[in-house]
Structure 1
């Protein structure tokens, strides 16, 4: 036998504000205080029907241990953003999270779920969101966005959006933030149990970064050196084809081309024997090469240098191989010839003939790779200047350097080393994986 409901007058009251014909209701839930809701109608009977529905939903939510008031996803998300800012102020979160996570939540999470009640969001909704997010910049709302505004060092900047599918790591990172938001909603009593976030990033192809095998690097160096001398010294000259299908032969390198190729060769050698990132290479000044001036004029065996690396939002000191030192000497000489003076500490290491910082050698590097027939690795992945850093790390692992030392010297994490170079590390312990008892 069901329990009779209390009369309407004890469940809720209808009223109209002064000067308005719209009906509203108010009622109380034990432990949650008084709740007021607009019924958005002038009709008394319709107002009563809507009031009954709202009251039933509110009491049911209260019995389930939830807030009687319906909370929209947007409202809860903004409350979560406010919590993030407070945690940043208390040093419980990194400062960059206080900038990146609110922007992510507003653009993507609120952009999709909007004013929907947070407690009706299901696993199906989250799966649909994941697909919407993957195509946001290519087919969704993002295709109409011309630029993204952001702040750096107190300055407001803008950049064009990258119109592509988010990377696997980005999808997983955003899923972590969304999961934290829903769990916080549970703690606040807005949800009973958070839906399972089944935003499974699609398995990617082999993402090991393109490097060089030792014989490939030797070929790259040989090709680079051959491009520093006059082509085909027998007088036939190298054939050149222009975009308009004209052809001619070059019998002698001009000074400008020879200088550019010399700088490129020095870049290849320093990158391969130091492990610096391209940005760190471009940022180098002569003052960043510790111990270099003191060693000039001495033999290579009596010289030692350290590199102050700056780039990718971090800095540190790198210890290069001594094989990199002669190529710093080459760059020093080129600077002296071009500027008619010795470089000072603030002058860039990789400089043009006018002493200006070179910001990229990507095009020249690609041409060198093509000349050596090394533009792509065995998987068909295009090599870039970053491949020199990967060659350095791979060689260090192969020849027994401790992974912790490599990570510190390259200003990266053990996780990144394991993720991208785990196969190399495995090859180092091949003998341990084939103990004597297994050998025929």
Structure 2
């Protein structure tokens, strides 16, 4: 080790390691010990210039309460991950956080900031990061990734990549993790004040599921009933042209078409009067319609049913409106006519002519909507069978049902009710918005 020539003071020392012509610097910071760095030059004058800059920077950082040496974002992120895993082991964090948060940190945060000094991350950097994250799987590094591997129950699994921007809730969740990381780094002395993570996550378009206004549903109901009538009655039958150019109008419905339309009408009415999800309706068996057999043959006002439902990973009981009972009678009758026997508990409620479970009415429902001129709502969004559930919940709220009761009966959360189903037009609750206190 060879010391340099004249050194202006003892703020730092320059030296060369044995066998190397490159100059090194060493100096001490109170409370942080000795620091050594290579100056990457064999020119003494240039080494002194670089040494001055390094010493001044380290001294300034120490005066500001920071570590004398700048730390890369990646190294700080790995330290933070180690802290997360220690907290999981001590039971201070949920176990799933020990898997999900390190994955997010390494893939996105380190993937973007990498070797950048953590104390050099600015709010402008965070803005640019947010845009990079939104396009990660479509235009960024993720476009080359074919699948994602993960562990569940001790098994290594893989899933395909979803080529889309992250949802609004996911963006917000990841920003929470990034904010926690930067605050932790600040407490460790790696940066003075963490940049404010106030990135405005782009709002997604209004994707609330389209519903029906009461007058629209009444029109849909009338059109659906009208489609059960033979076309000869109103002259609405479609024109048919044969290969020999002969043309005529269909005057009667064939039995298959009439049955399909009757089943569809029952589906519409049960969906609108129960609020069941489409999957829950398709999964219904006659054993799930609790109390139905005991009430057969009685007047409707003396009958009552409950629905044991399952679907979308959830299950529970639902209390439908009594108006739905008549349409279960219709489905029972259709099954008897097709199969020549009463349905047993394991038979599906929505069954084909062969007694098999129907798994979708989407096409028939779309044709009905087109016939009624109700295919899209006022925003131009296409209605689906799910719109019947939205109609049920909106009507329950508009007519005074408690939000909590509706949420429980529909197996959903208060937040989801507010987000997707609570947008009842003000004109329909005007009386509730004008209580008597103004006239006292």
- Describe the shift of the 1:433–1:391 C-alpha distance in structure 2 as closer, same or farther (beyond 3 A): closer
CA distance in 2, matches of 1:76, 1:233: 79
Residue in structure 2 matched with residue 185 of structure 1 by the alignment: 185
Please name the residue that 1:272 is paired with: 272
Q: How far off its partner does 1:272 sit?
A: 1.3
Kindly provide the CA deviation profile for residues 262-288 of structure 1, in whole angstroms up to 9, marking residues without a partner as x.
Answer: 443333222211222333334444444
Q: Which residue of 1 aligns with 2:5?
A: none
Map of 1:410 onto structure 2: 410
SS at match of 1:424: coil
Quick check: 1:13–1:27 contact (8 Å CA) kept in 2?
no
| Aligned counterpart, 2:140 | 140
For the 8 Å contact 1:286–1:344, the answer to whether it is kept is: yes
Give, in angstroms, the shift of residue 353 of structure 1: 4.6
- Which residue of structure 1 lines up, in the alignment, with residue 226 of structure 2? 226
Contact 1:285 1:346 in 2 (8 A): yes
The aligned counterpart of 1:159 is 160
Structure 1 regions of 5+ residues with no counterpart?
Answer: 242-246
- TM-aligned CA distance change 1:90 to 1:367, over 3 Å: farther
The CA deviation at 1:196 is 1.5
- 8 Å contact kept, 1:309–1:317: yes
Name the counterpart of 2:378.
378
SS of match in other structure, 1:412: coil
How far apart are residue 387 of structure 1 and its match?
Answer: 1.4
1:351 to 1:71, Cα distance in 2 relative to 1, 3 A: farther
Tell me, in whole angstroms, the C-alpha distance in 2 between the residues paired with 1:311 and 1:395.
23
CA-CA distance at 1:213 after TM superposition:
0.5
Question: Superposition pairs for residues 23-422 of structure 1, below 5 Å?
Answer: 29-32=29-32, 39=38, 41=40, 43=42, 54=54, 56-84=56-84, 100-148=100-148, 156-163=157-164, 165-203=165-203, 206=206, 208-233=208-233, 237-239=237-239, 251-335=251-335, 348-353=348-353, 356-421=356-421
Deviation at 1:128, TM superposition (A): 1.3
Q: How many pairs are equivalent?
A: 425
User: 8 Å contact 1:25–1:51 — kept in the other structure?
Assistant: yes
Secondary structure of 1:400's counterpart equals coil
Q: Deviations over 1:33-64 (max 9, x none)?
A: 56666x49585757777666555544433332
Which region of structure 1 is more displaced relative to structure 2, 179-188 or 265-274?
A: 179-188
Q: Is the 8 A contact 1:397 1:425 kept in 2?
A: no
Change (3 A) 1:74 1:8: closer
Distance 1:235 1:75, change over 3 A: same
State whether residues 240 and 248 of structure 1, in contact with CA within 8 Å, keep that contact through their aligned partners in structure 2: yes
Which stretch of the first structure deviates more once superposed, 144-153 or 102-111?
A: 144-153
What is the CA-CA distance between 1:130 and the residue it aligns to?
A: 2.0
Q: Relative to 1, partners in 2 of residues 1:75 and 1:364: Cα closer, same or farther, differing over 3 Å? A: farther
Greater shift in the superposed pair: 69-78 or 405-414? 69-78
8 Å CA contact 2:394–2:423 kept in 1: the answer is: no
SS at match of 1:210: coil
> Which has the higher mean CA deviation after the structures are superposed, 272-281 or 201-210?
201-210
Assess if the C-alpha contact under 8 Å between 2:41 and 2:47 holds in 1.
yes
Contact 2:85 2:98 in 1 (8 A): yes
**What are the Cα deviations for residues 368-399 of structure 1, in whole angstroms up to 9, with x where unaligned?**
21121101111222222221121111101111
Residues 181-222 of structure 1: per-residue CA shift (max 9 Å, x gap): 322333333332221123113456655542101111112122
Separation of aligned partners in 2, 1:404 and 1:425: 19
Q: Which moved more, 1:86-95 or 1:189-198?
A: 86-95
Residue 363 of structure 1 aligns to a residue whose secondary structure is helix
* 1:268-309 deviation per Cα after TM superposition (whole angstroms, max 9, x unaligned): 222211222333334444444443444444443333333344
Equivalent residue number for residue 244 of structure 1: none
1 CA distance for matches of 2:183 and 2:62? Answer: 19
Distance 2:100 2:330 in 1: 43
- SS of residue paired to 2:424: helix
Q: TM-score, normalised on structure 1?
A: 0.77
Please give the alpha-carbon distance, in whole angstroms, between the structure 1 residues aligned to 2:351 and 2:69: 65
The structure-2 alpha-carbon separation of the partners of 1:407 and 1:336, relative to structure 1 and needing over 3 Å to count, comes to same
Cα distance in 1 for residues equivalent to 2:260 and 2:51:
79
Closer/same/farther in 2, CA of residues 70 and 436 from structure 1, 3 Å limit:
same
For residue 23 of structure 1, report the CA deviation from its aligned partner: 8.0
> Which residue does the alignment assign to 1:8?
12
Structure 2 SS opposite 1:310:
strand
CA distance, structure 2, for counterparts of residue 356 and residue 92 of structure 1: 51
Moved more, 339-348 or 170-179: 339-348
